């Protein structure tokens, strides 16, 4: 008791210091926990957890798009008899027939389509005091000019100006008997190599054969620009490709495609 009486101030001060140290230690843990809590709240507000969206049901939209790509076509010419009654015409033999089914383009049949080529051939070479010259044959089967559809000879040397079809760029091998000639085509800029016995060939167009049974007419080798007449109508061949023949009615400029089925 005498010790407490003599040193109670020191004891109180020690208790106060111990309490203060405890408070400081508590504050350290409290502040740390508070910062952690604030950081969690900040993350939850700024970067909230987001669940992945489920796939939307686009069945109706996909169906609508699909219907647009393959629309339903109404045939108002051959099947509709209320707004478009059948037309009867006189056949070449004098009988009456329905126009929709037995005459006109509907019964014209394409029987064949033949490709037309550009053919370039190294025919021969000659040498003289001026140097070597080469006979190169050009055949343009699709040309509108009938004369150019047959082989035409061009005598050229290296360095000559280009003609309407090609320019001679290079001679490989001995000039008097070359292994190959290198040409540059005027229309496409393509560089081709000609050797003896192997011509260059390129498809430039097509011609069509077709028949018209009501008048027993057969048309052969018709090209773009040709005129034909059958069923009392004049037509112009607008286009021929590997799959179809397209004719244009001269009276109304209506174009009709006749497919080729091998």
Q: Residue 101 pLDDT > 80, yes or no?
A: no
pLDDT of residue 40: 79
Q: Residue 133 pLDDT > 70, yes or no?
A: yes
Q: Residue 87 pLDDT > 80, yes or no?
A: no
Question: Are 160 and 167 a contacting pair, CB within 8 Å?
Answer: yes
Entry pTM: 0.58
Question: Are 194 and 181 a contacting pair, CB within 8 Å?
Answer: yes
H, E, C per residue of the chain: CHHHHHHHHHHHHHHHHHHHHHHHHHHHHHHHHHHHHHHHHHHHHHCCCCCCCCCCCCHHHHHHHHHHHCCCCCCCCCCCCCCCCCCEEECCCCCEEEHHHHCCHHHEEEEEEEEEEEEEEEEEEEEECCEEEEEEEEEECCCCCHHHHCCEEEEECCCCCCCCCEEEEEEECCCCCCCEEEEEECCCCCEEEEECCECEEEEEEEEEEEEEHHHCEEEEEECCCCEEEECCEEEEEEEECCCEEEEEECCCCCEEEEECCC
pLDDT tens readout for residues 11-61 = 677 778 877 888 787 888 888 888 888 887 777 777 767 777 788 888 888
Measuring CA to CA, which residue among 128, 131, 141 is closest to residue 168? Answer: 131
pLDDT of residue 113: 96
Q: How confident is the model at residue 156 (pLDDT cuts 50, 70, 90)?
A: very high
Q: Give, rounded to a whole angstrom, the gap between the first and last alpha carbons of the chain.
A: 129
Beta-bridge partners for 138: 120, 152
Strands 200-212 and 217-222: antiparallel
The tokens for 18 are: 């111990």
Top pLDDT among 5 and 181 is at 181
- Burial class, 175, CB count within 10 angstroms (exposed 0-12 / middle 13-18 / buried 19+): middle
Burial 226-262 (b: 16+ CB within 10 A, else e): eebebbeeebbbebbeeebbbbbeeeeeeebebebee
């Amino acid at each position: 008791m005498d010790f407490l009486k003599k040193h109670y101030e020191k004891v109180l001060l020690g208790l106060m210091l111990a309490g203060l140290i405890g408070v400081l230690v508590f504050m350290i843990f409290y502040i740390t926990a508070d910062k952690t809590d604030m950081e969690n709240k900040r993350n939850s507000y700024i970067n909230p957890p987001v669940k992945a969206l489920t796939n939307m049901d686009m069945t109706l939209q996909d169906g609508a798009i699909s219907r647009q790509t393959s629309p339903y076509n109404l045939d108002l010419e051959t099947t509709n008899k209320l707004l478009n009654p059948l037309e009867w015409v006189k056949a070449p033999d004098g009988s009456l027939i329905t126009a929709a089914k037995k005459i006109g383009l509907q019964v014209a049949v394409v029987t064949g389509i033949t490709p037309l080529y550009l053919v370039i051939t190294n025919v021969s070479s000659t040498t003289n005091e001026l140097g070597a010259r080469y006979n190169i044959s050009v055949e343009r089967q699709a040309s509108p000019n009938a004369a150019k559809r047959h082989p035409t000879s061009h005598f050229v040397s290296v360095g000559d100006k280009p003609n309407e079809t090609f320019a001679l760029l290079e001679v490989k091998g001995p000039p008097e008997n070359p292994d190959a000639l290198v040409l540059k085509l005027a229309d496409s800029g393509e560089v081709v190599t000609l050797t003896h016995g192997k011509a260059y060939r390129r498809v430039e167009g097509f011609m069509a054969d077709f028949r018209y049974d009501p008048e027993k007419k057969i048309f052969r080798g018709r090209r773009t620009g040709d005129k034909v007449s059958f069923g009392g109508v004049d037509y112009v061949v607008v286009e021929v490709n590997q799959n179809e023949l397209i004719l244009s009615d001269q009276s109304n400029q209506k174009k009709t495609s006749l497919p080729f089925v091998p």
